[in-house]
């Protein structure tokens, strides 16, 4: 596994890309310049051959034959450093700047097939150091009539360089070489400067790109150590910025979950402490002989144990609901029937407190796919809260309404109402609006939390509206049943 950091990896990648790009451009420019110089040299050679042909044609027209052309050909060979030959129409070499083939027969047809050059032009046939022979016919034209007089054959570079080249030739060759070298040198220096700038640019870019990653890694390490207040700096809107935002959201959720966990532990400890202290107090009193172990004392201890048992059951049920482990046996049920059964079961409590209960049920069945026991538990909890908080002589209204998509159950009371600032916390664990209410009269403080989780487990919502001095309305919204009947377990 590579030990290089991401910063150095990015730096090397940037550097490699820039170096390869600059190298490729430099090679392309150098090759293109050399090719263009070769093209130019080849074209210049063709122009020189055209001038030689013109001089040879003038010589022939002046003498009407090739006699005496050897001296002119020798001068041409010395001037250009080439081997120059003139061949008549019969294929006999009448002039040779090297004097090695004078009078010899030359197979002009075969020579022409290999190197014919009607007009000196075209691509350079190879490296300039060893160019191939060039073939050029010498002819005289008069209107439409063309008279072939002979052939010019040039072999650049095949003849030894003259002992003392002309100054003009030497200057020309030097200029061509200087031009080529200066262009290549400029390309090389430009490439080196580009690589240097690329080094600096790659260094700063890699540092800028990896800085958020390093910050995120540091925050993640601290988060792993339990510091949930860590946040990564969001300095851009690109993928790294999105990653930092996602990390911050995760850290915020973890911080919230840790806070809830701490609060839950503290709340549970607080809720358990009071009944345990009461039980301990009664037992110590009996042990010391201060309290008699009669029926009344045993009844008080039993009530405290019952309170502890309900609290433990509620906590277990809430934990199952929040973790998704609460088994629901769903059936198609009439929500109106469930509400009516719960209201009938709690009729004694309602009558005992002299409250008026008003039921508003639909004429047709309000069907929903629910666990009847769990939904009954929700309605029982809401109705129990309404009974506890509604003063004597007050009224409780329970209604069931059915729409195309929802079955809506509302429980309204005429109690004191809930302050608006308390509403966001009403469904939290162990929360009581009236802090003076005891566990005996106010319950465990988990009823509404469990009710909301049960409704959400059915795909529904539990909402509350309240106004001080007028009462509260709790509304349960469940998905209406639209399919075939049956039983499902989830």
Strand order in the sheet with 406-413: 356-360, 395-402, 406-413, 471-479, 461-467
How would you write the pLDDT of the chain (490 residues) with one tens digit per residue? 455 666 666 777 777 777 777 777 777 777 777 777 777 777 777 788 888 888 888 888 888 888 888 988 888 888 877 888 898 888 889 899 888 888 888 876 765 554 444 444 334 444 434 455 677 788 777 677 778 888 888 876 544 444 444 555 566 567 767 777 777 777 778 777 877 777 777 777 777 777 777 777 788 888 888 787 777 777 777 777 777 888 888 888 888 777 777 877 777 777 778 778 888 888 888 888 888 888 888 888 888 888 788 778 877 777 777 766 777 888 999 999 999 999 988 888 888 889 999 999 998 889 999 999 889 989 998 998 899 889 998 999 999 999 888 999 999 999 898 888 888 888 877 776 655 444 444 456 778 888 888 899 899 999 999 988 889 999 999 999 887 555 454 5
Q: How far apart are CA 490 and CA 324, in angstroms?
A: 9
Domain 228-325 matches domain 329-479 at the CATH topology level: no
Contact between 365 and 336 under an 8 Å Cβ cutoff? The reply is yes
Q: Cα–Cα distance between 180 and 36 in angstroms, integer?
A: 10
Instruction: Report the DSSP beta bridge partners of residue 395.
Output: 356
List the helix and strand counts (H, then E) for the chain: 11, 12
Calpha distance 281→304 (Å, rounded):
11
What are residue 330's DSSP bridge partners? 488
Using alpha carbons only, give the angle 207, 211, 212 rounded to the nearest 5 degrees. 145
Quote the pTM value: 0.49
Q: Which CATH superfamily is domain 6-115+131-181 in?
A: PAS domain (3.30.450.20)
Whole-angstrom distance, CA of residue 376 vs CA of residue 378: 5
CA–CA dist 436, 169 (Å, integer)? 116
Instruction: Output the DSSP codes for 139-190.
Output: EEEETTEEEEEEEEEEEETTSPPPSS--HHHHHHHHHHHHHHHHHHHHHHHH
What contacts 327, CB < 8 A, 6 or more positions away?
A: 489, 490
Which sequence spans correspond to the domains of the chain?
6-115+131-181, 228-325, 329-479
One CATH from 3.30.450.40, 2.30.30.280, 1.20.120.1200, 1.10.287.130 for 228-325: 1.10.287.130
Alpha-carbon distance 400 to 13, whole Å? Answer: 68
Four-way CATH pick for 329-479: 1.10.10.10, 3.30.420.40, 3.30.565.10, 3.40.50.720: 3.30.565.10
């Amino acid at each position: 596994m590579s030990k290089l950091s991401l910063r150095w990896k990015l730096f090397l990648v940037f550097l490699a890309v820039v170096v390869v790009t600059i190298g490729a451009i430099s090679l392309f420019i150098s090759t293109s310049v050399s090719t263009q110089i070769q093209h130019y040299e080849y074209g210049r050679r063709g122009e020189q051959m055209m001038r030689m042909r013109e001089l040879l044609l003038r010589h022939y027209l002046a003498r009407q034959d090739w006699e005496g052309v050897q001296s002119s050909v020798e001068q041409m060979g010395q001037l250009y450093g080439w081997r120059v030959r003139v061949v008549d129409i019969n294929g006999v070499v009448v002039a040779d700047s090297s004097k090695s083939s004078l009078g010899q027969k030359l197979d002009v047809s075969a020579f022409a097939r290999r190197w014919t050059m009607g007009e000196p032009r075209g691509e350079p046939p190879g490296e300039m150091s060893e160019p191939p022979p060039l073939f050029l016919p010498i002819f005289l034209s008069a209107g439409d009539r063309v008279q072939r007089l002979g052939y010019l054959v040039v072999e650049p570079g095949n003849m030894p360089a003259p002992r003392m080249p002309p100054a003009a030739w030497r200057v020309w060759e030097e200029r061509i070489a200087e031009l080529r070298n200066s262009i290549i040198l400029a390309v090389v220096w430009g490439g080196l400067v580009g690589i240097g700038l690329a080094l600096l640019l790659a260094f700063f870019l890699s540092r800028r790109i990896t800085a958020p990653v390093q910050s995120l890694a540091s925050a993640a390490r601290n988060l792993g150590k339990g510091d949930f207040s860590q946040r990564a700096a969001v300095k851009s809107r690109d993928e790294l910025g999105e990653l930092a935002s996602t990390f911050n959201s995760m850290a915020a959720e973890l911080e919230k979950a840790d806070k809830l966990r701490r609060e839950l532990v503290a709340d549970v400890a607080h809720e358990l402490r009071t009944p345990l202290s009461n039980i301990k107090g009664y037992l110590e009193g009996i042990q010391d002989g201060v309290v008699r172990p009669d029926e009344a004392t045993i009844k008080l201890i039993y009530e405290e144990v019952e309170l502890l048992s309900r609290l433990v059951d509620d906590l277990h049920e809430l934990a199952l609901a929040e973790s998704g482990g609460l088994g629901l046996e769903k059936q198609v049920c009439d929500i109106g029937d469930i509400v009516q059964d719960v209201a009938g079961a709690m009729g004694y409590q309602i009558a005992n407190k002299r409250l008026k209960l008003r039921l508003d049920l639909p004429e047709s069945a309000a069907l929903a796919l629910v666990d009847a026991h769990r939904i009954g538990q929700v309605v029982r909890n809401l109705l129990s809260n309404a009974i506890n908080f509604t003063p004597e002589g007050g009224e409780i209204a329970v209604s069931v309404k059915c729409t195309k998509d929802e079955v809506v159950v509302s429980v309204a009371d005429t109690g004191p109402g809930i302050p608006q600032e308390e509403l966001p916390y009403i469904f939290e664990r162990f929360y009581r609006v009236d802090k003076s209410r005891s566990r005996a009269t106010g319950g465990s403080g988990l009823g509404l939390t469990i009710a909301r989780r049960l409704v959400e487990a059915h795909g529904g919502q539990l909402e509350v509206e309240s106004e001080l001095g007028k009462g509260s309305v709790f509304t349960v919204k469940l998905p209406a049943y639209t399919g075939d009947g049956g039983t499902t377990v989830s």
